[in-house]
Amino acid sequence: MTNYPAVERALRAAAPYALLDVARSVLAEHYGALSVDLFVADYSLSVLQAVDADPPWTHSLAVHSSRQGRAFGSQQPVSDQDQAPGPVDLHLPVTVHGDRLGVLSVRLPVERCTAEATAELADAAKLLGHEMVVAERDTDRYLVARRVTRLTLAAEMQWQLLPGRAFTRPEYALGAGLEPAYAIRGDNFDWSATESTLSLTITNGMGEDIDAALLTSLAVNALRNARRAGVGLADQAALADQAVWSRYRGAAHVATLLLSFDLATGVVQVVDAGSPRLWRRRGKAIDQVGFEAQLPLGMFEETLYVTEEFQVLPGDRLVFASDGVYDTASPAGAAYGDRALARALAGTGLLPAADVPASILRQLPDYRGQEADDDALVVCMDWYGRQQEPAESTGQESPS
């Protein structure tokens, strides 16, 4: 008989701050676990940090050179046995709807490390991720563990606005990244899914530090408020424009790209109100997708916005970037968006969408050869499309 229901009951009943303690107890009782450790990815996705270390960075592991990092990157269980017939370490991805939170490491006696136990523990790691997301409403324990260093106040505000760093459904996969992760200012992304649509917004508030974060926070929440009221994309932009104008009277504005994807048809409605841009990889061809430029939110009073459409096809990869990416200049003065970004898209073709933003953002420091003077945002979408249901057979032969 499976032990998983007992684990599920225990984790769902656990206090928000006690998830790891409860996991250790219940996995020891039902699977004979000798040790259980939880590692969460830091904001820059460069290290995995132990939740119970104090401070967390006293026990951190590199994402790209550790067994736990292999499980995090591959999103598959990784087993590790130092010496037979000694115990086996299982490293299990902690992931929620495609958003990679960390890794659960469980040490088992070799005789208890069966295929069935591994599958159940992998499910337990996913459940732990769901419970962590819920727990973050009521405890700082897991958010604190993600920090290699202190976040600026502007970055704290921005990360709290975000929906996650990745999201996966049958029709698409999303991944996003922000740099500098611990001092991000005005760049932001947002998404919201229904059974028939996906809304995606890329924003870039002008200004520096806390001023940029406050401006972006106002714009993002105004867009959410309009979207949740059920109005169309152009009216969402217009209502957010009014909110920003009412507060700043044209002294500050927010560059925004708003998109709404129809999951059944792949038709995308777009409002281009500023600087975020879109590149598309279709087959081997990589091109920038241009739209009719409209005014950023809050620049003038009562701006009217219009939507336009384009089509995505199964297999398309879309990459959205802020000006902190495509305007980054090399020492010779060449903008990253001129050629280097297309080369980066070609070079990351085999990576999943969740890994593409971090890969591109890691290239920027070497490209510019100096400290960044702007924050940078990349969002990647892989579009699969909705599979059509096969037509039901009538049992009759077609006429010849």
Nearest to 349 by CA among 289, 283, 276: 283
**The predicted structure's pLDDT at residue 2:** 81
Q: What is the reported pTM?
A: 0.93
**Other Cβ atoms within 10 Å of 83 Cβ, number:** 6
Least confident of 94-103, 375-384, 385-394: 385-394
Q: How far apart are CA 152 and CA 185, in angstroms?
A: 9
- Nearest CA to 150 among 231, 59, 77, 56? 56
pLDDT at 1 over 80: no
**Measured between alpha carbons, how far is 130 from 25 in angstroms, rounded to an integer?**
19
- Helices 233-248 and 209-228: crossing angle in degrees, nearest 10, is 140
Q: What is the pLDDT of residues 194-250, one digit of tens each?
A: 999 999 999 999 999 999 999 999 999 999 999 999 999 999 999 999 999 999 999
Residue 341 has pLDDT above 90, yes or no: yes
pLDDT at 394 over 50: no
**pLDDT exceeds 50 at position 281:** yes
Q: What is the pLDDT of residue 391?
A: 52
175 pLDDT more than 60:
yes
Tell me the three state secondary structure of residue 7: helix
Mean of the per-residue pLDDT values of the chain: 93
In the block, residue with structure tokens 């096969």: 390
pLDDT at 74 over 50: yes
What is the predicted pLDDT for the residue at 91? 98
Collapsed DSSP state (helix, strand, coil) of residue 322: coil
Distance CA 121, CA 143 (A): 24
What tokens appear for 282 in the block?
Answer: 């279709």
pLDDT of amino acid 318: 98
Candidate from 47-51, 159-163, 259-263, 371-375 with smallest mean pLDDT: 371-375
Is the pLDDT at 390 greater than 60? The verdict is no
Q: List CB contacts of 111: < 8 A, sequence separation 6 or more.
A: none
The C-alpha atoms of residue 118 and residue 160 are separated, in whole angstroms, by 34
Per-residue buried b or exposed e for 54-79, using 16+ beta carbons within 10 Å of the residue's own CB: eebeebbbebeebbbbbbbbeeebbe
Q: Residue 242 burial by CB count (10 A; 0-12/13-18/19+): exposed, middle or buried?
A: middle
Is pLDDT above 50 for 393? no
303 burial via Cβ count (<10 Å: 0-12, 13-18, 19+): middle
Predicted local distance difference test score (pLDDT) of residue 369: 83
Confidence of residue 56 (pLDDT cuts 50, 70, 90): low
Average pLDDT estimate for 81-104: 93
- Range 161-179 average pLDDT: 97
- Report the pLDDT value the prediction gives residue 395, as an integer from 0 to 100: 47
Confidence label for 73 from pLDDT (cuts 50, 70 and 90): very high
